[in-house]
Structure 1
Amino acid sequence: MKQKLSALALLVSGFSAVAQAAATDDIEKLEITGKRLPSAASEKLQANKLELDGQLLDQLKQQTLGATLANQPGVTSNFFGNSASRPVIRGLGGQRVVIGINGVPVRDMSAASDDQLVPVEPFFARTIRVVKGAAAVIPFGGEAMAGAVDVDDNRIPDILGDWAPSERFEAEAGMNAASSIMGQISDTYAGFAVNAALQIRDQSDYHVPGQAKASDCYNWEQLVGDSRLASRCQVTLSSPVWEYDGSAWVDATPLEDQQITHLGQQSRGKVNNSGSSTINMMLGLSKAISDNQYMGMAVSLLDTDRDIPGYIRRGATDSAVNIQSTVSRIDTKHQYLFTQSAWLNAVDTSLTYSQQQDEEYLGYQLANSFKLSTLQFAPRLTYTLLNAQPGELTLQAERQDLRSDGDDNYLPPVETNKYALYWLQNIEWQQFMLQLGGRYDQIRYDVDLDSDYHFGSGQGANARDRHFDLQSVNASLQWQLTDFWWVSASYTNADRAPSVSELYASNAHYALMIEEQGNAELQHENNESLEYATQLSLGEFTLAASWYENQYDDFIYLGNTGISRGGVAVQEWRQADTLNKGFEITAEYQWQTENLGHFTFSGFVDGVENKPRYHYDNSYDPFDFSNPVEPRPGEEEEYFRRKLDGESMPRVPADRHGLGVHWQYQQASLAINYLHYDKQQDLAQYEQPSASYNMVNLYATWQPAWLPSESRLFARVNNLTDADARPHQSFLRFLTPLSGRSVSVGFSYIL
């Protein structure tokens, strides 16, 4: 794995200088009273939320954001190897889940392609907040139709709020686990608050129980009639013998001629080409201008070299996929508190510039190269109306430039301009809390038709500039029936514009093992969402439940064409009405004992369905020439959708239930979490069912007396039972399961 040693040396030397200076220079932390400091929109939003921080977050942290959140109610991950895993919320991910850092959306390539990493480091996070449901559209835009994940890493020290000097050093290593080392310093120097962090992580090819490939990939009967499964399994078959039995053609290949050839080197007990190395560094500064305002800036750099398991192309030699990525980002922020105003609270302004460079190789051949540059500007005004009714008004402007190159490039150069205005207002009256929200977006895509990009042969080849005007509204009401019981209802009507990949993708996308074809004629999709929730708290016992239904008009999805080309299945972006619905139930009980310590027992169950919304009875058949019938509007399109896509959308996460026990006694703690995934048999056309599996994870800590009070030793065990776990929503489930049993130990030194 390559390492950017010069960049590493530069940051380490800077780190040392800051730490040495901080030890000899102090400034007084400012205290602001009489005004509540403005909180993040993801915190203020009245929606179904998860908030992870403190010891719980330390317990859950993994090397990707998706893996960190994958065991939470209503949240899974797409899993593309241990180095690429993006959250999936309520069965939907990609362009319907926004990832944010301190409230600013992360604009990267991971939403467009599952093999791309999310440039967010969970180990830098103070808090990770998950907003589930369409209400997240109001502050984050249509790309948050399923929800949003907002990571607070305080990279720009908030010296008017919750910030205090600290030092942290952490190291972790083990068996079948990544080795990592991290250091972070928050202190003061020459009148500036400083936050500096560095992490280095490395993992070799990871181990799995049994064969890396699923048993289906060794089954002639399943492979012989399914070219898509053969592509997913990365195998070729000897020429089968077909015979007509009087009613259908059947496979009659003699047993000795049923030869399955696996591309690449077969592996047992290990996933080939799955290692990665990462350097992640961050430096933030802020300074108080007066007792009610401050300015700050942060710079960060992420450099990764990742082997991507899965696709193998056979040429003179086998060629596997490798992606080298560099992500740089500059954040600036100014905050002003209106200490003398009766109704104005604060105005804070963020300006963020990020640049991502991805180079995707097949062996030594550059297949795809993307350079994504994004500039984001967002001034936000928070205020309080009469009777202490808080609200906020925010303007968002964004410009994004995508440049592309490579022999197998699947996206043309596109410039994107976005402008949005959103409003949130709380109204409290006795036991009722009402939140109203509205958002307006203008989005424009300008595609560079004069570039050297080679358009393919599908709908994505008909590229043209597009413009969208979007409106979204939300109303959420919570009723506090008693001191221990509340109920809530939420209604959202939201629009989402098609993304760059949905409009313009063209040609083979080898990492996903498909030929992906966009459609430049796609219209915006609309979602009418209803959600009901309740929570009952009796002493140390809490029970909560939620039910949601999203009725999508013109839902944009990646549909089957029924053909293969160049060894991969051809899929194209389409749109049609779709239903997304599900539920989540959680329970928790706290038990404090005098002699045995403190116990927390928790459990949850969740389920989700993503199904086409068909409006006719399937009686129409355009190929029934004996009884020709004129189709009703949209009936012919429904016929072909049923044939090509079936009765379910693809890659829907399976229903789950989980149990957890956390025990704390004096300086020791132990957490055990069990998660069961059901079989997934709600299948799209040409999709195979997936088996059920169980996952058991352990996390233990010990705080010896010879370490500072916040420091600890810890041990982490993932997949204790060494299960063959293949998430149904993963593109790679036939080629690699989740990592087998891994054991790591480490220590965290905190001052």
Structure 2
Amino acid sequence: MRHHVLAAAILSTFSSAYAADDTTLQTVEVRADKPAGSDTSVTVQNDRANNRTLGDMLEQVSGVQSSAFGPNAGAPVIRSLSGSRVQILEDGQSIMGMNAISGDINIPFDPLFARSATVSKSSDSVRYGGNAIGGSVNVDSGILSRKMEDKDHELELVLRKGYNDADAQGLRLNFNNSKNFSTNIQLSFQSIDHYKIPGNSKASVCNTGLFPATGGINSFIADSCQKEARIQQMYNKSSQPYIEQFIRDNPDWADGDFSFYTNNPTSVWQRKTYVNPANPAYVPGTPRTVENRINRDVTPDYHGTLGNSYSNNAHFGVGTTYFFNQGYVGVSLDSKESKYGVPGFSMENKSFGANYDEGLPVGVKIRQDKYALEGKLLSPVAYVDSAELRVSRLNNTSGETIGPTNANEYAFDTTQAELLLAQQRAGALSGVVGVSHRARDVTGSGPQLYLPDVGTTSNALFIRQNLDFDWASFDAGFRHEKVEHEIEASGFKTSRNAANTKLADRKFSLNSYNLGAAFELGKLWGAKLRYGSSERAPDINELYASNRHYSIMTQEEGNQNLKAERARNIELSVLFGLGGFKLTGTAYQMKYDNFLYLGHSGLQTANRLPLKYWKQTDTTVKGFELDASQAFSLGSYGKLNVSAFADLVKNKADNPDRLRTQNDGEYLPNMPTNRYGANLAWEHSGWKARLSSTYYDKQKYLGKSVSNEVPLDAYNMVNFQVSRAIDSPYARVTGLEVFISGSNLLNDDARPNNSPLKYIAPLPGRAFQVGLTMKL
């Protein structure tokens, strides 16, 4: 019951406040804002102190959750889609690497100085290619100035101290000549030794759900909880009334415990009669055999502390921009490093009966270096309003370790370039034409390889056009893209279970388009309608993976004969505005042809990992999102904003075949659950306060991994943050702010249903962070 208390209180405040406000606005002329476009996009400012990952930063956006692969790795999950279906960008350039393929690899992200992130919840394939078939996230790093800064110099210092949260330090420096040069330098560090949790690291169902009442073993629970689970049939020594005297005198004749007992008071052996004594342990009516249920933890079940949950992050960036009359050109260097543990998880699946205490923890090491050039030129030629060029080189190396030893390491070396030409506006018509090129080389090393070395190139041409009238706007876009995967020479070998015999190159030709409209419906209402058709080429893991992929607890096998995915999306949003009140409701449906998923074969390999193959089936993703907010002016007490949201998504196979239904179910496991959230935000005279409550419901749409997925309890995440801007007595100090924040205030055992580690690694328990920001 306590899960609902704060959410209900905030929603009650929302309802009563709106009712009161409705009576005071009768004489005020208001009208709804005309929708700016047909896409569903949201920009989130990085003003929350307790963002650990990019997924954490965006998890209060309706329709977006974090993958939560432990507390140190969290990617945005948009309407149940993630990985290679959600394009992750920084300053307009893709930073997708191993994080799109292996869930324990975090997206390099600076939680201190990243300015904002823009989420497109609709398919964004026309703009960013097939890897945005499920949407995109574009992070503004703040490294480059795109306009001259207001002051000729500013130094920002950040200090944070955490209780069950990270310690952090950082500085950001800008200096410029107020005319044409501006340089930014960023340096930050975050670290924590371990996270505390409310109870045990393994969920209670790891024991209560391991042996179902219907009999046997729930292999889904055993695999997910990393358990050794077996059932042995043992002879029941209490089932027979007499002890076999001859066998007791001649134990070498026995075939097992059952040989020592009998139902007869006498027995004849070698023509001699033996009197059998009574069995003192005999219990009439008991069965001849009993089950011995073996339940052993392969990995530790921690209490109070989440084992192997340390994290260390470092970031250095520098960017310089030169401004001139017709635009700017900027160059930047950005380097991020991360080292962290994958909690409650082992990459050593030892044989039954082994000494599991000798298992070694899993660690992740990430190093990402990005070199970028960005420029914008206004009116370069006739009929062109502006030209934008972005070029970057991204070197991302991600590796998994078993104890101190490298298990595998993959280097993603990516070169990408994009040119955008915005046409001069002609009446209501405006638009952009673009070309893009991306070349990526993936090379691996180490004993636990599951991917070959592959080179991938992508070339695309796209166009987007907009018609903007007073009462409505219309948009359309088209993209043609060619993707080629080329196998490179390496020592990689596929497993004996592989679907591929000899690895081969693949080429894909993709076409994507979208049509949209946004209308103003009277003074109070608006509507958006969007339709899109998008295609995505299978990525290298879906085509070529083979061998043990421990981070997803699977013997993963790709299939190089897979087809491209195609999604046909339709989305409708209705908007209402009245004074300070805004309401948006969105319903959507995405129908996928050849939806790629990792399907269970029904078998396990010798290392007790489930054997899964990349397969395809038609799938429908549908759901809704509801967002509401009310702004209040409190006069001398400041201003208050009250908001609430709800979302629901279902990802269901269309007409699945018998094997899909039997092994994987209609719904895939680890789907996001429906949520209900509410927020209070208040500002006054340098004070800022925010209180939020998000209720994660118990999952109703469950998948299978041969055995049924077991739902976990609902939970409520309650967070707060309070900050105060202080006037400094020193002239050089232009800004001083202190804050305190708290997360998971109810100390709930929080296990997101979409987390692959939900059964063995909950989110951190109650946590606090205090901090100071100083500007000079």
TM-score, normalised to structure 1, is: 0.86
Residue 70 of structure 1 and its aligned partner are, at CA, apart by 1.3
Superposed, which structure 2 residues align to 1:664-683 within 5 Å? Answer: 664-683=683-702
Structure 2 counterpart SS, 1:502: helix
1:84 is aligned to: 73
Query: Following the alignment from structure 2 to structure 1, what is the Cα–Cα distance between the partners of residues 289 and 535?
Result: 52
1:691 lines up with 2:730 in the alignment: no
Q: Is the 8 A contact 1:403 1:414 kept in 2?
A: yes
Q: Is the 8 A contact 2:718 2:746 kept in 1?
A: yes
1:172 lines up with 2:160 in the alignment: yes
Pick from 264, 268, 279: which aligns with 2:314? Answer: 279
Q: Is the 8 A contact 1:108 1:119 kept in 2?
A: no
Q: Is the 8 A contact 1:224 1:237 kept in 2?
A: no
Structure 1 counterpart SS, 2:612: strand
1:624 is aligned to: none
Residue 514 of structure 1 and its aligned partner are, at CA, apart by 1.1
Q: Is the 8 A contact 2:619 2:653 kept in 1?
A: yes
1:347 is aligned to: 387
In the TM superposition, what whole-angstrom CA distance separates every residue of 1:269-305 from its partner, at most 9, and x where no partner exists? 11111111111110101213x3113221100111111
Superposed, which structure 2 residues align to 1:632-671 within 5 Å? Answer: 638-671=657-690
1:69 is aligned to: 58
Paired amino acid for 1:704? I
Pick from 750, 756, 759: which aligns with 1:725? Answer: 750
Superposed, which structure 2 residues align to 1:526-675 within 5 Å? Answer: 526-565=566-605, 566-614=607-655, 638-675=657-694
Query: Following the alignment from structure 2 to structure 1, what is the Cα–Cα distance between the partners of residues 56 and 590?
Result: 26
1:712 is aligned to: 737
1:212 is aligned to: 201
2:98 is aligned to: 109
Structure 1 counterpart SS, 2:449: coil
Mark the CA change 1:394 to 1:252 in structure 2 (over 3 Å): closer, same or farther. Answer: farther
**Structure 1, 367-376 or 677-686: larger mean CA deviation:** 677-686
Pick from 215, 219, 231: which aligns with 1:227? Answer: 219
**Structure 1, 708-717 or 589-598: larger mean CA deviation:** 708-717
In the TM superposition, what whole-angstrom CA distance separates every residue of 1:548-581 from its partner, at most 9, and x where no partner exists? 0001011111111111111211221111100000
1:703 is aligned to: 725
1:47 lines up with 2:39 in the alignment: yes
Query: Following the alignment from structure 1 to structure 2, what is the Cα–Cα distance between the partners of residues 207 and 477?
Result: 49
**Structure 1, 591-600 or 411-420: larger mean CA deviation:** 591-600
Paired amino acid for 1:287? Y
Report how many residues are paired.
672
Superposed, which structure 2 residues align to 1:286-325 within 5 Å? Answer: 286-288=321-323, 290-312=324-346, 313=348, 314=350, 317-325=358-366
Residue 67 of structure 1 and its aligned partner are, at CA, apart by 1.0
Residue 363 of structure 1 and its aligned partner are, at CA, apart by 1.9
1:465 is aligned to: 505
Residue 611 of structure 1 and its aligned partner are, at CA, apart by 0.1
Residue 462 of structure 1 and its aligned partner are, at CA, apart by 4.5
Mark the CA change 1:714 to 1:227 in structure 2 (over 3 Å): closer, same or farther. Answer: same
Query: Following the alignment from structure 1 to structure 2, what is the Cα–Cα distance between the partners of residues 344 and 648?
Result: 48
Query: Following the alignment from structure 1 to structure 2, what is the Cα–Cα distance between the partners of residues 546 and 165?
Result: 44
1:181 is aligned to: 169
Superposed, which structure 2 residues align to 1:356-371 within 5 Å? Answer: 356-371=396-411
Unpaired runs of 5+ residues, structure 1, are 1-42, 244-250, 615-636
Query: Following the alignment from structure 1 to structure 2, what is the Cα–Cα distance between the partners of residues 146 and 573?
Result: 19
In the TM superposition, what whole-angstrom CA distance separates every residue of 1:482-538 from its partner, at most 9, and x where no partner exists? 243211100001111101111111111112211111111100011110000011110
In the TM superposition, what whole-angstrom CA distance separates every residue of 1:169-223 from its partner, at most 9, and x where no partner exists? 1111121001111110122269631011011111112111110111122235249
2:560 is aligned to: 520
Query: Following the alignment from structure 1 to structure 2, what is the Cα–Cα distance between the partners of residues 132 and 703?
Result: 34
Paired amino acid for 1:113? S
Mark the CA change 1:192 to 1:596 in structure 2 (over 3 Å): closer, same or farther. Answer: closer
In the TM superposition, what whole-angstrom CA distance separates every residue of 1:568-603 from its partner, at most 9, and x where no partner exists? 112211111000000001110011112432111100
Paired amino acid for 2:617? A
Residue 163 of structure 1 and its aligned partner are, at CA, apart by 9.4
Paired amino acid for 2:646? V
1:265 is aligned to: 300
Residue 360 of structure 1 and its aligned partner are, at CA, apart by 1.2
The runs of at least 4 aligned residues of structure 1 exceeding 4 Å deviation read 160-165, 251-255, 707-710
Query: Following the alignment from structure 1 to structure 2, what is the Cα–Cα distance between the partners of residues 520 and 496?
Result: 15
2:538 is aligned to: 498
1:413 is aligned to: 453
Q: Is the 8 A contact 2:50 2:769 kept in 1?
A: no
Query: Following the alignment from structure 2 to structure 1, what is the Cα–Cα distance between the partners of residues 155 and 575?
Result: 38
Residue 389 of structure 1 and its aligned partner are, at CA, apart by 2.4
Paired amino acid for 1:605? A
Q: Is the 8 A contact 2:216 2:231 kept in 1?
A: no
2:475 is aligned to: 435
1:452 lines up with 2:441 in the alignment: no
Residue 227 of structure 1 and its aligned partner are, at CA, apart by 2.6
2:260 is aligned to: none
**Structure 1, 205-214 or 309-318: larger mean CA deviation:** 309-318
Query: Following the alignment from structure 1 to structure 2, what is the Cα–Cα distance between the partners of residues 710 and 557?
Result: 51
Q: Is the 8 A contact 2:335 2:370 kept in 1?
A: yes
Residue 165 of structure 1 and its aligned partner are, at CA, apart by 4.7
Unpaired runs of 5+ residues, structure 2, are 1-34, 236-286
2:10 is aligned to: none
Q: Is the 8 A contact 2:326 2:377 kept in 1?
A: yes
Structure ID, larger Rg: 2
Residue 734 of structure 1 and its aligned partner are, at CA, apart by 0.6
Query: Following the alignment from structure 1 to structure 2, what is the Cα–Cα distance between the partners of residues 385 and 433?
Result: 14
Q: Is the 8 A contact 2:143 2:318 kept in 1?
A: yes
Query: Following the alignment from structure 2 to structure 1, what is the Cα–Cα distance between the partners of residues 501 and 311?
Result: 34
Structure 1 counterpart SS, 2:232: coil
In the TM superposition, what whole-angstrom CA distance separates every residue of 1:398-440 from its partner, at most 9, and x where no partner exists? 1000001211111000000100111111112331100111101
Superposed, which structure 2 residues align to 1:94-173 within 5 Å? Answer: 94-134=83-123, 136-159=124-147, 165-173=153-161
**Structure 1, 312-321 or 77-86: larger mean CA deviation:** 312-321
Query: Following the alignment from structure 1 to structure 2, what is the Cα–Cα distance between the partners of residues 575 and 265?
Result: 36
Query: Following the alignment from structure 1 to structure 2, what is the Cα–Cα distance between the partners of residues 680 and 252?
Result: 41
Q: Is the 8 A contact 2:38 2:528 kept in 1?
A: no
**Structure 1, 232-241 or 563-572: larger mean CA deviation:** 232-241
1:617 is aligned to: none
Structure 1 counterpart SS, 2:145: coil
Structure 2 counterpart SS, 1:705: coil
1:741 lines up with 2:766 in the alignment: yes
Query: Following the alignment from structure 1 to structure 2, what is the Cα–Cα distance between the partners of residues 410 and 476?
Result: 41
Query: Following the alignment from structure 2 to structure 1, what is the Cα–Cα distance between the partners of residues 380 and 456?
Result: 39
Query: Following the alignment from structure 1 to structure 2, what is the Cα–Cα distance between the partners of residues 732 and 162?
Result: 46
Structure 2 counterpart SS, 1:124: coil
Structure 2 counterpart SS, 1:722: coil
Query: Following the alignment from structure 2 to structure 1, what is the Cα–Cα distance between the partners of residues 696 and 466?
Result: 39
Query: Following the alignment from structure 1 to structure 2, what is the Cα–Cα distance between the partners of residues 253 and 172?
Result: 62
Task: Tell me the C-alpha RMSD between the 2 structures.
Answer: 2.3
Query: Following the alignment from structure 1 to structure 2, what is the Cα–Cα distance between the partners of residues 365 and 277?
Result: 18
